Amino acid sequence: MSNPKKPHITVMRSQLSRARGLGSGQAGVGHWWAERASAVALVPLSGWFVIQVFRLAGASQPEVAKWGARPLNTTMMLSLVILTFYHTQLGLQVIIDDYVHGKAHLPAGLLMKGIVFLLGLFGTVSVLKLALAGSSRGRIAAG
Amino acid sequence: MVEFRLPKNSTVGKGRIFTAAPGATNVKNFRIYRWSPDDDKNPVVDTYEIDLDKIGPMVLDALIHIKNDVDSTLTFRRSCREGICGSCAMNIAGENTLACLKPIRDIEGDIAIYPLPHMPVIKDLVPDLDGAYAQLRSIDPWLKSDTLPPPDSERRQSIEERAELDGMWECILCFCCSTSCPSYWWNGDRYLGPATLLAAYRWIADSRDEHAGDRLDALEDPLKLYACRTIMNCTQTCPKGLNPAKAIGRIKELQLERKA
């Protein structure tokens, strides 16, 4: 039997081998740049959205529906929603990279991306519904 | 996962108190981390009451005084005592710095001294830097040039090209920066850390080096380079006043530049 005082050594790989590891993943630039570019794009989009919310304060439901049906507003809203959730998953991936190691890393990232994707899709569908529902309702009312 | 608590065998207990000689008037307490691999005990913090009138102005002077005159078992690295060898890097009053460059009078109250954070401890204030040295080795920190040097002279640089290296050649590899970086604490097995990345950029920026592309290839990795989150602890703590965060930022700029 082995001496309990002397722990069994499982890693005798050299320090240089550990430092080199599996080499460079040849990735990271795209993620890093996308994080910054989307953050910059979100500044004017978020400012626009805040202004619109103040302008619509106290508006009736039909007024808001009319606002949401305008192509320019739909375009801005979709840009805001898609970029927000795109930026969210980029940022959360960084947190997972930092704090989740080993076998849990990949499933944690997938789970996070799945949830953020569904939330983003929900927001996108909501904007589209606002954009398209007004006209269909108009037709029904006319018919 | 990230370790938010110390492992059981690393929790720090109370140690001994070495009282100052009677009659000492200018006494300051040095609370120093002690751990020995020779027994199975947890680390402790010993308190040394030191008469500042008897020693030099720097924290290293106090450590040398303790080793010579109070407790010869205290273990720490030191060599040049003037901030050029990097041996006496340690955590003093919560900040990574060189004991030889840190004036005692700059610290109010008791002075807590620990080894560089989040590295394996060999004994007392001596951290195991093998992993950090291997990471430095992994980026090939030497001139790589395929063009032969002129037979009758050295490889020449313009004044402007030489100026590119200012703020980088001064690094003494004390690893105060890397061991102050949370990214290095959490992912030190794959993230190279600010000291090594500063060294990497020092060679990328060197006009005589002909392998910048290979060097950038080797760094283009989600963790080796991009685990840097621009926390800036490295720049704040550097005892030589260098800016590793800026060097890392330049590497990221170059990675982007060569993609377009």
**Cα of A105 to nearest chain B Cα, Å:** 9
Average pLDDT over chain A, rounded to whole? 91
The CATH architecture to which B130-257 belongs is Orthogonal Bundle (1.10)
Which residue type occupies B30? F
- In this predicted structure, the answer to whether residue A139 has a pLDDT above a threshold of 60 is no
Q: Do B218 and A101 touch (CB under 8 A)?
A: no
The proportion of chain A whose per-residue pLDDT surpasses 70, expressed as a percent, equals 90
> How many domains, chain A?
1
**Cα of A98 to nearest chain B Cα, Å:** 6
Q: Residue B6 has what pLDDT?
A: 82
- In this predicted structure, the answer to whether residue A135 has a pLDDT above a threshold of 90 is no
Instruction: Indicate the pLDDT class of residue A142, thresholds 50, 70 and 90.
Output: very low
| 10-residue averages of pLDDT along chain B (260 residues) | 78 94 93 95 97 96 97 97 97 98 97 97 97 97 96 95 97 98 96 98 98 97 96 98 98 95
Backbone torsion region of residue A23, taken as left when φ is above 0, otherwise alpha when ψ lies between -120 and 50, otherwise beta: left
pLDDT in tens, A13-47: 999 999 999 999 999 999 999 999 999 999 999 99
pLDDT in tens, A71-105: 999 999 999 999 999 999 999 999 999 999 999 99
| Residue B239 vs residues A58, A67, A136, B96, B173: alpha-carbon distances, Å | 58, 59, 69, 8, 11
Alpha helices, DSSP H, located in B54-209: 59-65, 130-138, 159-163, 182-187, 194-204
Residue of B nearest to A96 (CA): B1
ipTM, 2 dp: 0.87
Which residue type occupies B74? L
| Residue A19 vs residues A46, B132, B201: alpha-carbon distances, Å | 43, 8, 18
Instruction: Indicate the pLDDT class of residue A143, thresholds 50, 70 and 90.
Output: very low
Q: Do A25 and B222 touch (CB under 8 A)?
A: yes
CATH assignment, B8-126: 3.10.20.30
Domain boundaries, chain B: 8-126, 130-257
From the list A15, A24, A94, which residue is nearest B224 (CB)?
A: A24
Q: Do A24 and B130 touch (CB under 8 A)?
A: no
Q: Please indicate, yes or no, if residue A110 is contained in any of the structural domains.
A: yes
Domain that holds residue A102: 26-142
Q: Residue A134 has what pLDDT?
A: 55
Please say whether the beta carbons of B86 and B174 come within 8 A.
Answer: yes
Q: Is B49 helix (H, G, I), strand (E, B) or coil?
A: strand
Residue (of B244, B239, B256, B253) closest to B97 by Cα position: B239
Please say whether the beta carbons of A109 and A93 come within 8 A.
Answer: yes
b/e per residue A29-52 (b: at least 16 CB within 10 A): beebeebeebeeebeebeeebeeb
Q: Are strands B126-127 and B121-123 parallel, antiparallel or unpaired?
A: antiparallel
Q: Please indicate, yes or no, if residue A3 is contained in any of the structural domains.
A: no
List residues of A whose CB lies inside 8 A of any B CB: 14-16, 18-21, 23-29, 31-33, 94, 97-101, 104
- In this predicted structure, the answer to whether residue A1 has a pLDDT above a threshold of 60 is no
Instruction: Indicate the pLDDT class of residue A6, thresholds 50, 70 and 90.
Output: confident
Q: Residue A7 has what pLDDT?
A: 76
